[in-house]
Protein backbone atom coordinates (compact mmCIF):
# COMPACT_ATOMS: atom_id res chain seq x y z
CA UNK A 1 0.00 0.00 0.00
CA UNK A 2 1.52 3.30 -1.05
CA UNK A 3 -1.20 5.87 -1.61
CA UNK A 4 -2.45 8.35 0.98
CA UNK A 5 -5.38 7.33 3.14
CA UNK A 6 -7.93 10.04 3.75
CA UNK A 7 -9.62 9.22 7.02
CA UNK A 8 -12.54 11.42 6.18
CA UNK A 9 -13.60 13.68 3.38
CA UNK A 10 -12.62 16.62 5.57
CA UNK A 11 -8.96 15.56 5.49
CA UNK A 12 -8.83 15.08 1.72
CA UNK A 13 -6.98 17.96 0.03
CA UNK A 14 -9.85 18.75 -2.31
CA UNK A 15 -12.17 19.20 0.65
CA UNK A 16 -9.73 21.32 2.62
CA UNK A 17 -8.73 23.57 -0.27
CA UNK A 18 -12.29 24.31 -1.19
CA UNK A 19 -13.14 25.07 2.42
CA UNK A 20 -15.91 22.49 2.34
CA UNK A 21 -17.21 21.18 5.62
CA UNK A 22 -18.61 17.71 5.09
CA UNK A 23 -19.78 15.16 7.61
CA UNK A 24 -17.96 11.84 7.40
CA UNK A 25 -20.28 9.09 6.20
CA UNK A 26 -20.90 6.07 8.42
CA UNK A 27 -18.60 4.01 6.18
CA UNK A 28 -15.84 6.58 6.61
CA UNK A 29 -16.25 6.41 10.40
CA UNK A 30 -16.00 2.62 10.22
CA UNK A 31 -12.86 2.90 8.12
CA UNK A 32 -11.29 5.33 10.60
CA UNK A 33 -11.71 2.98 13.57
CA UNK A 34 -10.79 -0.13 11.57
CA UNK A 35 -7.54 1.42 10.39
CA UNK A 36 -6.71 2.96 13.78
CA UNK A 37 -7.12 -0.35 15.58
CA UNK A 38 -4.55 -2.01 13.32
CA UNK A 39 -2.20 1.00 13.31
CA UNK A 40 -2.22 1.31 17.11
CA UNK A 41 -2.54 -2.24 18.41
CA UNK A 42 -1.02 -4.68 15.89
CA UNK A 43 2.75 -5.21 16.00
CA UNK A 44 4.98 -7.46 13.88
CA UNK A 45 5.10 -11.06 15.09
CA UNK A 46 1.60 -11.05 16.57
CA UNK A 47 -1.21 -13.59 16.35
CA UNK A 48 -4.29 -11.51 15.42
CA UNK A 49 -7.99 -12.37 15.72
CA UNK A 50 -10.01 -10.96 12.82
CA UNK A 51 -13.64 -10.04 13.50
CA UNK A 52 -16.62 -10.09 11.17
CA UNK A 53 -18.83 -7.35 9.76
CA UNK A 54 -18.61 -4.14 7.80
CA UNK A 55 -16.44 -2.38 10.41
CA UNK A 56 -14.10 -5.32 11.04
CA UNK A 57 -13.65 -5.61 7.26
CA UNK A 58 -11.80 -2.26 7.31
CA UNK A 59 -9.38 -3.61 9.94
CA UNK A 60 -8.76 -6.67 7.77
CA UNK A 61 -8.21 -4.39 4.78
CA UNK A 62 -5.68 -2.30 6.74
CA UNK A 63 -3.83 -5.39 7.97
CA UNK A 64 -3.53 -6.54 4.36
CA UNK A 65 -2.16 -3.13 3.34
CA UNK A 66 0.46 -2.99 6.10
CA UNK A 67 1.62 -6.54 5.40
CA UNK A 68 1.87 -5.80 1.71
CA UNK A 69 3.93 -2.62 2.15
CA UNK A 70 6.21 -4.30 4.71
CA UNK A 71 5.20 -2.13 7.69
CA UNK A 72 4.10 -5.33 9.47
CA UNK A 73 5.89 -8.69 9.27
CA UNK A 74 5.37 -12.22 10.63
CA UNK A 75 1.67 -11.77 11.34
CA UNK A 76 -0.58 -14.78 11.52
CA UNK A 77 -4.34 -14.28 11.81
CA UNK A 78 -7.41 -16.21 12.89
CA UNK A 79 -10.66 -15.29 11.11
CA UNK A 80 -14.04 -15.46 12.87
CA UNK A 81 -16.16 -16.36 9.86
CA UNK A 82 -15.99 -17.78 6.38
CA UNK A 83 -16.55 -14.25 5.01
CA UNK A 84 -13.56 -12.86 6.90
CA UNK A 85 -11.43 -15.88 5.97
CA UNK A 86 -12.16 -15.25 2.29
CA UNK A 87 -11.39 -11.54 2.60
CA UNK A 88 -8.10 -12.22 4.42
CA UNK A 89 -7.08 -14.90 1.93
CA UNK A 90 -7.77 -12.46 -0.90
CA UNK A 91 -5.40 -9.96 0.75
CA UNK A 92 -2.66 -12.54 1.26
CA UNK A 93 -2.88 -12.47 5.09
CA UNK A 94 -1.38 -15.71 6.52
CA UNK A 95 -4.06 -17.62 8.44
CA UNK A 96 -4.15 -20.19 11.20
CA UNK A 97 -6.65 -21.62 13.70
CA UNK A 98 -6.97 -21.72 17.48
CA UNK A 99 -6.05 -25.41 17.31
CA UNK A 100 -2.44 -24.53 16.50
CA UNK A 101 -2.35 -20.95 17.92
CA UNK A 102 -4.56 -20.82 21.04
CA UNK A 103 -2.90 -17.64 22.39
CA UNK A 104 -3.98 -14.54 20.51
CA UNK A 105 -2.17 -11.25 21.07
CA UNK A 106 -4.92 -8.98 19.85
CA UNK A 107 -8.39 -9.42 18.36
CA UNK A 108 -10.26 -6.62 16.59
CA UNK A 109 -14.00 -6.65 15.93
CA UNK A 110 -17.10 -4.51 15.60
CA UNK A 111 -20.23 -4.71 17.75
CA UNK A 112 -23.95 -4.11 17.45
CA UNK A 113 -24.15 -2.16 20.70
CA UNK A 114 -21.64 -1.14 23.34
CA UNK A 115 -22.82 -0.26 26.84
CA UNK A 116 -21.40 3.17 27.72
CA UNK A 117 -20.82 2.29 31.36
CA UNK A 118 -19.33 -1.22 31.21
CA UNK A 119 -18.31 -1.70 27.54
CA UNK A 120 -20.44 -4.86 27.54
CA UNK A 121 -21.34 -5.76 23.96
CA UNK A 122 -24.20 -7.19 22.00
CA UNK A 123 -22.80 -9.03 18.99
CA UNK A 124 -24.08 -11.39 16.34
CA UNK A 125 -26.03 -9.09 14.05
CA UNK A 126 -23.86 -10.53 11.29
CA UNK A 127 -24.45 -14.07 12.54
CA UNK A 128 -20.84 -14.82 13.52
CA UNK A 129 -21.15 -14.59 17.31
CA UNK A 130 -20.03 -18.15 18.12
CA UNK A 131 -16.74 -18.06 16.20
CA UNK A 132 -16.21 -14.46 17.31
CA UNK A 133 -16.55 -15.38 20.97
CA UNK A 134 -14.39 -18.52 20.72
CA UNK A 135 -11.59 -16.48 19.17
CA UNK A 136 -11.95 -13.20 21.06
CA UNK A 137 -12.11 -14.74 24.50
CA UNK A 138 -8.58 -16.08 23.82
CA UNK A 139 -7.14 -12.64 23.04
CA UNK A 140 -4.86 -10.80 25.48
CA UNK A 141 -6.34 -7.57 24.09
CA UNK A 142 -9.80 -7.33 22.54
CA UNK A 143 -10.22 -4.07 20.64
CA UNK A 144 -13.79 -3.11 19.76
CA UNK A 145 -14.31 -0.72 16.85
CA UNK A 146 -17.57 1.18 16.36
CA UNK A 147 -19.08 4.35 15.04
CA UNK A 148 -20.88 6.38 17.70
CA UNK A 149 -24.33 5.10 16.66
CA UNK A 150 -23.48 1.82 18.43
CA UNK A 151 -22.99 3.41 21.88
CA UNK A 152 -25.94 2.86 24.22
CA UNK A 153 -26.98 2.79 27.85
CA UNK A 154 -27.43 -0.81 28.94
CA UNK A 155 -27.82 -3.87 26.71
CA UNK A 156 -31.02 -5.28 25.25
CA UNK A 157 -33.47 -2.74 23.88
CA UNK A 158 -31.17 -1.06 21.34
CA UNK A 159 -30.40 -4.17 19.28
CA UNK A 160 -32.07 -7.59 19.44
CA UNK A 161 -29.86 -10.06 21.31
CA UNK A 162 -28.80 -12.88 18.93
CA UNK A 163 -28.70 -16.40 20.38
CA UNK A 164 -27.28 -19.31 18.35
CA UNK A 165 -29.30 -22.51 18.75
CA UNK A 166 -29.19 -25.94 17.14
CA UNK A 167 -31.65 -26.73 14.35
CA UNK A 168 -33.21 -29.76 16.07
CA UNK A 169 -36.46 -28.80 17.86
CA UNK A 170 -35.67 -25.12 17.29
CA UNK A 171 -39.24 -24.02 18.04
CA UNK A 172 -39.05 -25.72 21.46
CA UNK A 173 -35.64 -24.13 22.15
CA UNK A 174 -36.98 -20.73 21.05
CA UNK A 175 -39.82 -21.02 23.60
CA UNK A 176 -37.40 -22.11 26.33
CA UNK A 177 -35.32 -18.99 25.68
CA UNK A 178 -38.39 -16.76 25.78
CA UNK A 179 -39.43 -18.23 29.13
CA UNK A 180 -36.14 -17.69 30.97
CA UNK A 181 -36.68 -15.66 34.19
CA UNK A 182 -33.99 -13.07 33.42
CA UNK A 183 -35.25 -12.62 29.86
CA UNK A 184 -38.82 -12.10 31.03
CA UNK A 185 -40.91 -10.20 28.50
CA UNK A 186 -38.55 -10.78 25.61
CA UNK A 187 -39.78 -11.98 22.25
CA UNK A 188 -37.45 -14.51 20.60
CA UNK A 189 -37.77 -14.52 16.81
CA UNK A 190 -36.18 -17.09 14.51
CA UNK A 191 -33.87 -15.23 12.10
CA UNK A 192 -34.86 -15.75 8.47
CA UNK A 193 -33.02 -15.47 5.19
CA UNK A 194 -35.76 -15.04 2.63
CA UNK A 195 -38.35 -17.72 3.34
CA UNK A 196 -35.88 -20.09 5.08
CA UNK A 197 -34.24 -19.90 8.51
CA UNK A 198 -30.84 -18.17 8.47
CA UNK A 199 -28.05 -20.77 8.88
CA UNK A 200 -24.74 -19.84 10.56
CA UNK A 201 -21.25 -20.93 9.50
CA UNK A 202 -21.70 -23.68 12.11
CA UNK A 203 -24.93 -24.96 10.52
CA UNK A 204 -27.02 -23.63 13.41
CA UNK A 205 -29.99 -21.25 13.59
CA UNK A 206 -30.23 -17.88 15.38
CA UNK A 207 -33.07 -16.44 17.42
CA UNK A 208 -33.08 -12.67 17.94
CA UNK A 209 -34.42 -11.64 21.34
CA UNK A 210 -36.34 -8.36 21.43
CA UNK A 211 -36.48 -6.36 24.67
CA UNK A 212 -38.42 -3.20 25.56
CA UNK A 213 -36.10 -2.26 28.42
CA UNK A 214 -32.42 -3.01 29.22
CA UNK A 215 -31.62 -6.51 30.52
CA UNK A 216 -31.44 -6.06 34.31
CA UNK A 217 -28.69 -8.62 34.95
CA UNK A 218 -26.74 -9.48 31.77
CA UNK A 219 -24.45 -11.94 33.61
CA UNK A 220 -27.45 -13.88 34.92
CA UNK A 221 -29.13 -13.71 31.50
CA UNK A 222 -26.01 -15.15 29.88
CA UNK A 223 -25.81 -17.96 32.43
CA UNK A 224 -29.49 -18.84 32.01
CA UNK A 225 -29.18 -18.86 28.22
CA UNK A 226 -26.22 -21.26 28.32
CA UNK A 227 -28.23 -23.51 30.61
CA UNK A 228 -30.88 -24.14 27.94
CA UNK A 229 -30.16 -27.44 26.23
CA UNK A 230 -29.84 -26.60 22.55
CA UNK A 231 -28.48 -23.07 23.02
CA UNK A 232 -24.96 -23.02 21.63
CA UNK A 233 -23.91 -19.42 22.48
CA UNK A 234 -25.35 -15.94 22.98
CA UNK A 235 -24.31 -12.52 21.77
CA UNK A 236 -23.59 -10.94 25.17
CA UNK A 237 -19.83 -10.29 25.29
CA UNK A 238 -19.32 -9.35 28.94
CA UNK A 239 -16.06 -8.27 30.58
CA UNK A 240 -14.13 -8.94 27.37
CA UNK A 241 -13.43 -5.46 25.96
CA UNK A 242 -9.90 -4.13 26.51
CA UNK A 243 -10.51 -0.89 24.61
CA UNK A 244 -13.29 0.52 22.48
CA UNK A 245 -12.40 2.87 19.63
CA UNK A 246 -15.34 5.10 18.74
CA UNK A 247 -15.61 7.33 15.68
CA UNK A 248 -18.08 10.20 15.70
CA UNK A 249 -18.70 13.61 14.25
CA UNK A 250 -16.27 15.16 16.76
CA UNK A 251 -13.42 12.74 15.99
CA UNK A 252 -12.12 9.48 17.42
CA UNK A 253 -12.08 8.58 21.10
CA UNK A 254 -10.89 5.50 22.96
CA UNK A 255 -12.73 4.15 26.02
CA UNK A 256 -11.37 1.55 28.41
CA UNK A 257 -13.33 -0.28 31.10
If one counts every other C-beta atom within 10 angstroms of the C-beta of residue 213, the result is 9
Q: CB-wise, 28 or 112, nearer to ligand 5RP?
A: 112
244 binds ligand 5RP (CB under 6 A): no
Residue number with CB closer to ligand 5RP (45 or 239): 239
Cβ neighbours of residue 93 under 8 Å, at least 6 residues apart? Answer: 50, 60, 63, 64, 67, 75, 77
When binding is defined by CB under 6 A, the residue of 105, 112, 160, 208 that contacts ligand 5RP is 112
Q: Is 54 in the site for ligand 5RP (CB under 6 A)?
A: yes
Q: Name the phi and psi angles at 104, rounded to 5.
A: -100, 135
- Under rule CB under 6 A, residue 53 binds ligand 5RP: yes
Indicate whether 127 belongs to the interface with ligand 5RP (CB under 6 A).
Answer: yes
Q: What is the 3-state secondary structure (H, E, C) of the chain?
A: CCCCCCCCHHHCHHHHHCCCCCCCCHHHHHHHHHHHHHHHHCCCCCEEEECCCCCHHHHHHHHHHHHHCCCCCCCEEEECCHHHHHHHHHCCCCECCCCCCCCEEEEEECCCEEECCCCCEECCCCCCHHHHHHHHCCEEEEEEEEEHHHEECCCCCCCCEEEEECCCCHHHHHHHHHCCHHHCCCEEEECEECCEECCCCCCCEEEEEECCCCCCCHHHHHHHHHHCCCEEEECEECCCCCEEEEEECCEEEEECC
Q: Is 110 in the site for ligand 5RP (CB under 6 A)?
A: yes
Among 124, 154, 218, 222, binds ligand 5RP (CB under 6 A): 124
In the complex with ligand 5RP, the residue whose CB is nearer, 16 or 157, is 157
**Which of 8, 31, 32, 55 is in the footprint of ligand 5RP by CB under 6 A?**
55
In angstroms, give the least distance from the CB of 123 to ligand 5RP: 3
Q: Is 233 an annotated catalytic residue?
A: no
Q: Could you say whether residue 49 binds ligand 5RP (CB under 6 A)?
A: no
Query: Closest separation between CB of residue 44 and ligand 5RP, Å?
Result: 26
125 binds ligand 5RP (CB under 6 A): yes
From 36, 83, 85, 123, residue interacting with ligand 5RP (rule: CB under 6 A): 123
Residue of 190, 109, 122, 110 lying closest to 152 (CA atoms) = 122
Task: From the candidates 28, 61, 132, 176, give the one annotated as an active-site residue.
Answer: 132
Note whether 34 binds ligand 5RP by CB under 6 A: no
Decide if residue 109 touches ligand 5RP (CB under 6 A).
yes
Per CB under 6 A, the list member of 46, 59, 111, 143 interacting with ligand 5RP is 111
Q: Which is nearer to ligand 5RP, 49 or 110 (CB)?
A: 110
Site residues (vs ligand 5RP, CB under 6 A): 51-56, 109-112, 123-129, 132
Catalytic machinery residues: 132
Amino acid sequence: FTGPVYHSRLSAPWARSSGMRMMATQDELKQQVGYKAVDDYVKSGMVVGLGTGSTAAFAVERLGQLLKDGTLKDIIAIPTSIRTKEQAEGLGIPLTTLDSHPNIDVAIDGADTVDNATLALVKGGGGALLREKIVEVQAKEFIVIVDESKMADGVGPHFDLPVEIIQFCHEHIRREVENLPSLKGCKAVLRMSGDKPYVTDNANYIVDCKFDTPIKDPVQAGAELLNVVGVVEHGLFLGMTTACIIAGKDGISVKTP
